Amino acid sequence: MSQPFTEVPLTPLRKAIAARMTQAKQTIPHFRLVANLEIDALLRWRAAFNEVDPKKKISVNDCLIKTVAMALVYNPALNCQITDTAIHRFQSADISIVIALEGGLATPVIRGAEAKSVMKISEEVKDFAERAGSNALKLSEISGGSFSISNLGGFGVEQFDAIINAPQCAILAIGKAEPRVVADGLKRTKVATMLTCTLSVDHRAVDGVEASKFLQGLRDVISDPKRLECA
């Protein structure tokens, strides 16, 4: 006897997501790198920022978007799209952010994120999230993008892999920040707030060394968050 079930029809959005994800998995040779990043300096910088004006607060994710954008400018090999005949490397970091919707996803783009303040990025993210929920995003706001970020840390996920958003060549999957016992440079143990990030990369366009340099650039900016004040 078959078990009872509820049939959920595939919406046009769900069908579109299914088609894009299937094509990406079948046609893009993914490889992945995992980095555990200490973010205590970033958390202190954010806390000091938020104390200045309680009405204007930024999230850790807002800071990470700016951090990723800066790392992409330093390492443009990952700030790209691929075509049948060429790799297009962009000078500006247009970051697609994955936003969960009822029955699907939206990927609005923070354009020129490396040149925007974290506060400006925060305002755009909040606006996108609000309008995405009411299906009010414009096509121009969800198209393009040179790199993607998917953050599931707020849902308690420690680590995950994300599928590349073609024709982009990389996506960063961000897990939950949590205290862990780690060794410092003198081989002494300490408790630090660690963030696990998994970078999925299109091997047709990017090799392992270039991807590793991007993650090192990400670590460098996170360890010196005053650099986020450049815009």
Residue 19 inside a domain? The answer is no
Question: How would DSSP label each residue in 115-134?
Answer: GS-HHHHHHHHHHHHHHHHT
pTM of the shown model: 0.94
Burial class (CB in 10 A: 0-12, 13-18, 19+), 83: exposed
Please state, in angstroms and rounded to a whole number, the distance separating the CA atoms of residues 60 and 45. 10
Catalytic residue of the set 56, 203, 207, 208: 203
How many distinct structural domains can be found in the chain? 1
Catalytic (active site) residue 88: no
Residue 15 inside a domain? The answer is no
Mean pLDDT of all residues in 219-228: 94
Residue 8 inside a domain? The answer is no
Residue 52 inside a domain? The answer is yes
Cα Rg of the chain, angstroms: 18
Residue 230 has pLDDT above 70, yes or no: no
71: containing domain: 30-230
136-188, pLDDT tens digit by residue? Answer: 999 899 999 999 999 999 999 999 999 999 999 999 999 999 999 998 877 88
Residue 111 inside a domain? The answer is yes
Are 92 and 111 contacting, i.e. CB atoms less than 8 angstroms apart? yes
Residue 21 inside a domain? The answer is no
CATH number, position 197: 3.30.559.10
Residue 95 inside a domain? The answer is yes
72-125, pLDDT tens digit by residue? Answer: 999 999 999 999 999 999 999 999 999 998 888 999 999 999 999 999 999 999
Residue 11 inside a domain? The answer is no
